[in-house]
Amino acid sequence: MAVGPFDALLLVSFGGPEKAEDVVPFLENVTRGRGIPRERLVEVGEHYFRFGGRSPINDQCRALKRAIEEDFAAHGLDLPVFWGNRNWHPYLSDALRELAGIGARRVACLVTSAYASYSGCRQYRENLAAAVAEVEAELGHDLPTLTRLPHYFNRPGFIEPFVDATVAALERLPAGARIVFVTHSIPDAMNDTSGPHGGRYVAEHRDVATVVAEDVAARRGAPVDWDLVYCSRSGPPDQPWLEPDINDHLEALAAKSVPGVAVVPIGFVSDHMEVLYDLDTEAEATARRVGLAFVRVPTPGTDPRFVAMVRELVTERASAESGTSVTPNVRGSLGAVWADCPQGCCPNLRGPKPALCGG
């Protein structure tokens, strides 16, 4: 079955090093233009060196790509799947050359970030614009039109795996254990300008955390207590970032005699470095030190419901592009998410850059 008007799906991800000698060059890509000294990058690189210099994110993207391809084939969708990264091989420009090679004219793009913010959305759109400009100049002709699929934080396929895993985690913890939802911290200013009207990054996380907590409570037949906290802060000390940090929060919970925590990485699609290091290494060590029972909930990864959600997003957008009205299947109070980003949405606070897939 064709998925008109789309000729392909492009999986758009962050990228990560795959061996020790990749680590610092990768971090230089990530931080380019910020004036961060190489010595600091080597220090940050220790997180990767602990795991042999290999980030799990590329392997997880390979697994997700395979799972999507298998799901498409099982449901009769004739749509090839490509993959490109912002910061490491295979780069977005590599994927665009492949797409040009098959003669694709319209490509749906799935970003492996579920929420609105500059770093979670517009920066990807800027990187897509830069990659298109690079490859068009190289090939001497226009590339396919790229269409970003909507954010999916409030889709059942993203939510339900977290619900099941959180219920299972609480069953392993003492009575009175608390749910701690965790996402990547960003500067306050980035949150304040996220979405069309500001504050969208935190609002989306709170919305989905509320849904997960309510579903968990319904399954357990009792209310659950929860918090939203942050990890992976990387800015200068004088720049306000979203708080509390998970480690500070775990210490505060222990001081209140909370017996344990189910740590739910609600901000992440898969178990990449922020999850393996910041949660499974640092946060678990903090919990052990302060005497908190600790269970970290897995991310959706290649859960069949998450993979089916990708197909749902593609077919919904294809229908809308073909003029058919579609009512998205979403949870929570924020409703359906815009397709193309509105003008001024999640601005680059360092100054405007060209960006695709929006006003």
Which tens digits make up the pLDDT trace of 187-231?
999 999 999 999 999 999 999 999 999 999 999 999 999 999 999
> pLDDT of 290-305, one tens digit each?
999 999 999 999 999 9
Bridge partners for 262 per DSSP: 179, 295
- Domain 8-152+302-321, what fold? Rossmann fold (3.40.50)
8-152+302-321 against 156-296: fold identical: yes
Among 3.40.630.30, 3.10.50.40, 3.40.50.1400, 3.40.640.10, name the CATH number for the domain at 156-296. 3.40.50.1400
Q: Where do the domains of the chain lie?
A: 8-152+302-321, 156-296
User: 325-338 in b/e burial notation, b at 16+ Cβ within 10 A?
Assistant: eeebebbbebeebe
In this prediction the pTM is 0.96
The Cα 261–Cα 302 span in angstroms is: 25
Q: How far apart are the first and last CA of the chain?
A: 31
User: Residue 276 pLDDT more than 70?
Assistant: yes
DSSP 231: E
User: How many beta carbons lie within 10 A of that of residue 50, not counting itself?
Assistant: 12
Q: What is the mean pLDDT of the chain?
A: 95
Q: What is the mean pLDDT of residues 98-104?
A: 97
> pLDDT of 164-196, one tens digit each?
999 999 999 999 999 999 999 999 999 999 999
> pLDDT of 131-144, one tens digit each?
999 999 999 999 99
Q: Which residue has the higher pLDDT, 8 or 44?
A: 8
pLDDT confidence band for 254 (50 / 70 / 90): very high
User: Residue 39 pLDDT more than 70?
Assistant: yes
